[in-house]
Amino acid sequence: MSKKQAYRIRNWGHYNRALAKRGSLTVWFDEKSVQQWHNTDQCSGRGHPKIYSDASIQCMLMLKAVFRLPLRATQGMVESLIELLGLPIRAANYTTLCRRQKDLDVSIPKQPKADGESLHAVFDSTGLKVYGEGEWKVRQHGYSKRRTWRKLHLGIDESNGDIIAAAVTTNDISDGEVLPDLLAQIEGKIYQASADGAYDDFKNHQLLEERGAKITIPPRENAKIKQHGNSNLPALARDENLRAIRKMGRKQWKKESGYHRRSLAETAIFRAKIIFGRTLNAREFENQAVEAFIRCAALNKMTALGMPESYAA
C-alpha cells in the first residue's frame, strides 16, 4: 500500500492573517456605495418603485450569509451599522429583502488575471439540502419522503481557487447537462478543463475543443473509440484520452494529464459548506439559487484575502 503524499504550507503567517480577517467586524461604506444605496430612478416601469438598489440588497444578503443571520436580524444589523456611522441611508425591511432576493442578478467578484495568463478550469457539483432530517433522526428512523436538495454546479480557477462560474438546478439534472451554461460564464481562452466522468459527453467535448481547451475528463469504463485512427479528420480529444488510458492505465493517465487538480473544485465546495453550512434557508427555488450565488460571491471575497501555498514535503 503506497504512502499518502504529505504537503506543507509555506505561507502560514500570511494565511493565518487572512483567516482572521474573514471574521473581522470592520465595515465601511465608501462615498460611491452610499450614493448608490437608494434607487435614483424610482419611476421607471409599472408597480411600486424600487427604493433600494440591487447593490444594497446584495450587500445586506452577503452580510446575512457570512454571519448566518435570519432576515430580521440582518435588517437589525445593517440598521445598527448605519446608525453608528451616521450615514444618510436606510436599511431595507426584511420583507423587502425576501421579495427582492428572488429577481436579484448577483455579481460574483473575480480576481483579475494577467494578459496571456492561462486558465485551468475545474468543474464539479454538490448538493445543498432544502429540507430534510438531521443525522440523528436518519440513524434512528431512516429517511423520509420529504428529503430533497438543490445542486450547486461550480467552475473553479485552478490557480487561485476563485469561483468563475456557478449554476443551481434541481437534483434531477445531471452534471454534464449544466457544463454549457458554466462555460458561457467564462470569458477568454481556457487552457485546460478538468472534470470527473459525469461530464463525459461528446457535446461537452465539442464545446471545450471549440474553446481550445486541453480536456482532462476520464472516459467511462465502457467507452468506445468513435473515430478511427487512420481517419483524415482531426483527432477527437476524447478518443486520444481513451487511447492514452488503454496504453498507460487510468491511474497513470490521471497523474500525467493533471487530472488530480480537479480535486480543487471539491476543496472549494468543502470550504463553502464549512463556512456557510450545508442547508439553504430560502423556500422558493429562485430565492434558493440567489442564496447560493451570494455564498459564492462572499467566498470569492474571502479567497482574495489570502490562500495557502502548499508544496510536497
CATH fold of 120-269 reads Nucleotidyltransferase; domain 5 (3.30.420)
**What's the Rg (C-alpha) of the chain?**
23
Residue with cell 471539491: 266
Q: How confident is the model at residue 64 (pLDDT cuts 50, 70, 90)?
A: very high
Instruction: Indicate whether 67 pLDDT > 80.
Output: yes
**CA-to-CA distance for 287 and 98, rounded, in angstroms?**
8
- Write down the mean pLDDT value for the chain: 87
Half-sphere exposure of 238 (CA within 13 A, CB side): 20
Cα–Cα nearest to 297, from 199, 163, 142, 204 = 163
Mean pLDDT, to the nearest integer, of 209-232? 85
Instruction: Indicate whether 313 pLDDT > 80.
Output: no
pLDDT score, position 145? 60
Maximum Cα–Cα distance across the chain: 75
Find out whether 179 and 126 touch, Cβ atoms under 8 Å.
no
- With pLDDT > 90 as the criterion, what percentage of the chain qualifies? 52
Torsion of CA 144, 145, 146, 148, to 10 degrees: 100
Mean pLDDT, to the nearest integer, of 65-82? 94
pLDDT score, position 167? 97
pLDDT score, position 223? 83
User: Amino acid letter at 252?
Assistant: Q
Find out whether 298 and 66 touch, Cβ atoms under 8 Å.
yes
Query: 8-12, 64-68, 183-187: which has the minimum mean pLDDT?
Result: 8-12
**CA-to-CA distance for 120 and 191, rounded, in angstroms?**
6
Residue with more model confidence, 96 or 47: 96
Half-sphere exposure of 141 (CA within 13 A, CB side): 7
Helix runs in the chain, H state only: 12-21, 31-35, 54-66, 71-85, 94-101, 135-141, 175-184, 202-210, 237-248, 250-257, 263-276, 285-305
Write down the domain spans for the chain: 1-105, 120-269
What strand order describes the sheet that includes 214-216? Answer: 163-170, 148-157, 120-131, 192-194, 214-216
pLDDT score, position 41? 64
**CA-to-CA distance for 138 and 142, rounded, in angstroms?**
4
**CA-to-CA distance for 283 and 23, rounded, in angstroms?**
28
Enter the DSSP assignment of 188.
S
Instruction: Indicate whether 124 pLDDT > 70.
Output: yes
pLDDT score, position 127? 93
Mean pLDDT, to the nearest integer, of 259-276? 91
Coil/strand/helix, residue 101: helix
User: Amino acid letter at 276?
Assistant: F
Helices 71-85, 94-101: crossing angle, 10 deg rounding: 120
Residue with cell 440582518: 74
Find out whether 61 and 104 touch, Cβ atoms under 8 Å.
yes
Residue with cell 425591511: 93
pLDDT score, position 99? 93
